[in-house]
Amino acid sequence: MLIWLIFALMTGAAVLAVLWPLSRAETAVAAETGDAAFFRQQMADLERDREAGLVSEREAEALRAEIGRRLLRAARGEGRSGPEGEPALRRRRAASAIALSTIPLLALAIYGAMGSPHLPQAPRAARMDGGQLDVGAAVAKIEAHLAQNPGDGRGWEVLAPVYLRAGRFGDAARAYQSALDILGESPARLTDLGEAVTAEAGGIVDARARAAFERALVLDPANAKARYYLAVATGQDGDNAKAIDMLRKLLADAPADASWRGAVEQRLAALSMSEGASAITSLPEGEQALAIRGMVEGLAARLDADGSDAAGWARLVRSYVVLGEEEKAREALAKARSQLAADPASLDMLAALARQLSLETDATGAPQ
């Protein structure tokens, strides 16, 4: 806290340097009093700044004219009413005193409320070069800060998602747990903890993660992240039908532009295919082929409506090959390449798939 008091004093000194000319008529113009003396001193200060190159000739001329007009008005006023300048001088001094005491305190209060005085400063290289912040160095500084201040819940909350993005899932879970313990429960903290624990477990929603998601739903029944992961957990428990229903309800409640719709739709498609495959195996042999064809046609229709699902295109191409319909497989492959033309990674995957399934041909029409 001492450093912020020092900054406040430095700010006060800067304000004093600016405001002091407004109230120094007695020292700068000892033989004169009132506004006229003030404006004469301002004229002298302007000439000094012009000679030092701080003010251009054009700016000096404009300022000189303005100060001159005010000086004439002040001189006329003093001639009419005698020592009228003294109240004005007192007002200027009072304004200076108020500004001197208020501005630094106000600035300090605003920074305390909106800034982050508890966090370490950015690395010197980042400040000097304006380049990218060294994330590793920043993390190390925050870790050092938290080692000295383990009760800083906000610090843990800042650090946790950095760990998560870096793949340090165990560290992320511990940081989220610390933030939760210090700052208290909230739906966001609980779901963040559950997500980190799930990532640490390799994508399995274990008992600890499930408890966090369930508690988040108690606090916020509409929480999308908790609903999603609990649907995933239900599917992992083997109840695909219930998981599919949970995901469909989540999509029905979701805004049309929700950034996570795609992930939910992909999970729903995977569960639906798994559920469909399980149901097909229980059908009589003659009906299995019809059921499989219906699933393939449904997948094709979905991809025609939204062709951004590279994994879906791969499943469709494979399905046509399994059904013995290689021409449709090639057509689907061509559509996929057209839809995913701006995605080099997906195009590479499709090329590898085509070679694997012998769908690529050379100039003679023979498989490559």
CATH topology of domain 283-360: 1.25.40
pLDDT bracket for residue 42 (50, 70, 90): low
Question: Which pLDDT score, from 0 to 100, does residue 32 have?
Answer: 43
The C-alpha atoms of residue 147 and residue 321 are separated, in whole angstroms, by: 59
Q: pLDDT per residue over 110-164, tens digit each?
A: 444 444 444 555 444 444 444 445 677 888 888 999 999 999 999 999 899 999 9
Q: In a 3-state reduction of DSSP, which class is residue 355?
A: helix
List the beta bridge partners of residue 223. none
The C-alpha atoms of residue 337 and residue 330 are separated, in whole angstroms, by: 11
In this model, does residue 224 exceed pLDDT 80?
yes
The C-alpha atoms of residue 60 and residue 46 are separated, in whole angstroms, by: 7
Q: Where along the chain do its domains lie?
A: 283-360
Q: pLDDT per residue over 250-286, tens digit each?
A: 999 988 888 888 888 878 877 776 666 555 666 676 6
Average of pLDDT values for 179-201?
Answer: 95
Whether the CA torsion 62, 63, 65, 70 is positive or negative: it is: positive
Phi-psi region of 134 (alpha: psi -120 to 50; beta: other; left: phi over 0): beta
Q: What is the pTM of this model?
A: 0.46
- H/E segment holding residue 41: helix 34-51
Whether the CA torsion 135, 138, 140, 143 is positive or negative: it is: negative
pLDDT bracket for residue 54 (50, 70, 90): low
pLDDT bracket for residue 220 (50, 70, 90): very high
Calculate the alpha carbon distances from 73 to 25, 89, 218 in Å: 17, 16, 72
In this model, does residue 205 exceed pLDDT 50?
yes
List the beta bridge partners of residue 367. 361
Please check whether residue 59 is in contact with residue 80, taking contact to mean a CB–CB distance below 8 angstroms. Answer: no
Name the most confidently modeled range: 5-14, 106-115, 209-218.
209-218
